[in-house]
Amino acid sequence: MKLESGTNRLEFLRWVACAATLLFSAVGIQGLPVAPGPAGNTPPGSQASDKTPHPLDGARSAALTSDRGRPNIVYILADDLGWADVGYHGPDIKTPHIDQLAAAGARLESFYVMPVCTPTRAALMTGRYPIRYGLQFNVLRPASQHGLPVEERTLPQALHEAGYETAICGKWHLGHAKPELLPLRRGFDHQYGLFLGMCDYFTHMEGGAFDWHRNDKVCRDEGYTTHLIAKEAIRLIEQRDQRKPLFLYLPFNAVHGPIQVPESYGKPYGHLTGQRRIYAGMVAAMDEGIGQVLAALEKEGLGGNTLVIFSSDNGGLIGKGEPAASNGPLRDGKGSLYEGGTRVPAFATWPGRIPAGTIVKEPLHIVDWYPTLLKLAGAPLEQKLPIDGRDAWATITDGRPSPHEALLLNTVGRMGAIRAGDWKLLRNALTAEGEDPEGAAHKKNASKEERRKKNAGPDVFELFNLAQDPCEKTNLAAQQPDKVRDLSGRLEAFARAAVPPTLSRKPEGFKTPKVWGEFD
């Protein structure tokens, strides 16, 4: 049997005890000091790149990989996972494998992503902000004809060229309308999973068509997608080319809607109700799959030389009604530039290379993994298109400051957000429900006249000191005009450098195929 619930938007219930909850997330572990990043040498518009038992301890002899100095890399990307929906951040949902893995390495407590799925995945794959190639706004839809531009060098492409075997098991969501947009044409040796942003967990259908594939061809494997993704990852680990290091990209579609899970996973969460109970089961199923993948690495003798990275692609989905996800004390959720939309649970673990029990509070961004991983893999960073990410290895392993002077959270039109050190500035921000905290003109149901007046009016800024106010409750813009002027100037430099967003429009005469990613 399976449990299901609707995917209507849920209203976020902010925790009252904000400070207490934040203390809970770091109890008993020494944190690194928060300090502004060093001044960069390039402008914001064109940045450049530069003891707890370990769950994988049993296989410290990394000699089974042919390249001893280069790690195997496993990047686990959860989908729409809330800040408080891992055990080490909140009490509701048990995630023993995730928690053990996080404790054995470095928890990245100020790790930023984009507000929604496609832009985050593009940023990880390229090391470049999505403003550089038009994917900064919204997500790819089933009828979308575009994707990650083929001119972009991708992480698997660079690792493949450096001698890695590369595989993706899970959700792609970077283009499916043309053969050149599919994973095997973007640097992966192996592909398994879905191309679109979501599908039914049991039938693998979305928008009236089938969406499950192996090596870019339709695959009729039956089962719950979370189980299938973990099973395929284990198969690839066991059957890998032992002459090469492995890059395994594991983007689960869990816990994105539809809210579905086999009934047995929801039973331990009878104290929760409605969508929250089913969602908790989905998280538990993903945690179980992660544990199985870790066990496979251990069995194959790869644990000691495998870097495991985990993050969500954006904050948990919130909205009207009973909440399924929880972003804990953080403000707002998926689709928003507030902390609940862009700051996500994340960590990195590598035995002997990343000290266990580390807490990193310095701001980092998902674009940073691109240059960091290429350097660890011995791959060249030189490329035609400039990289926004910075090498974050010293920040993660040695307590150094953030490699960024400023992090772009996004800029689209007159909206945007940027973080520099402890300070965060938002311009004309919307909530995840599309509401303007400062007025009615940005609501989804706002009239054209309301929007025209708002767009013609002055910008509305919000400024927060995240070290003192991580829940973004106190707007300091009026008290800190110089800081607003500085950060708004940096944000504007990014905005001027942005290319126009490519919008997802259904082409005239579009017909849904029987299988997504198949072509006439």
Q: Annotated catalytic, 117?
A: yes
Closest CA to 79 of 42, 104, 111, 116: 116
The one-letter amino acid at 140: L
Show the beta-strand stretches assigned E in 6-145. Answer: 72-78, 106-108, 111-112
Q: Which residues contact 464 (CB under 8 A, 6 or more apart)?
A: 423, 424, 426, 472, 474, 475, 476
Strands 213-214 and 217-218: antiparallel
- DSSP 8-state symbol, 180: G
- For residue 460, count CB atoms less than 10 angstroms from its CB and return exposed for 0-12, middle for 13-18, buried for 19 or more: buried
Cα 329 to Cα 339: distance, rounded to the nearest angstrom: 9
Q: Annotated catalytic, 173?
A: yes
Cα 383 to Cα 7: distance, rounded to the nearest angstrom: 42
Show the beta-strand stretches assigned E in 388-436. Answer: 407-412, 415-420, 423-427
Choice among 89, 117, 213, 442 that is catalytic: 117
Closest CA to 516 of 108, 239, 172: 172
Report CA-CA distances (Å) from 163 to 186, 237, 249, 383. 15, 16, 16, 17
Which residues partner with 259 through β-bridges?
5
The one-letter amino acid at 287: D
Strands 106-108 and 358-360: parallel
Phi and psi of 350, rounded to 5°?
-155, 110
Q: Helix or strand or coil: residue 423?
A: strand
Q: Which two tokens stand for residue 238?
A: 């066991």
- Assess contact for 232 and 196: CB atoms under 8 A: no
- Assess contact for 115 and 360: CB atoms under 8 A: no
- Assess contact for 324 and 317: CB atoms under 8 A: yes
Cα 298 to Cα 51: distance, rounded to the nearest angstrom: 19
Segments in 363-508 forming alpha helices (H): 369-377, 393-398, 448-456, 481-497
Report CA-CA distances (Å) from 481 to 51, 338, 439, 486, 491. 46, 20, 21, 9, 15
Backbone CA torsion sign across 328, 329, 333, 337: negative
Choice among 54, 89, 160, 173 that is catalytic: 173
- DSSP 8-state symbol, 40: P
Phi and psi of 120, rounded to 5°?
-65, -45
Q: Which residues are catalytic, by number?
A: 117, 173
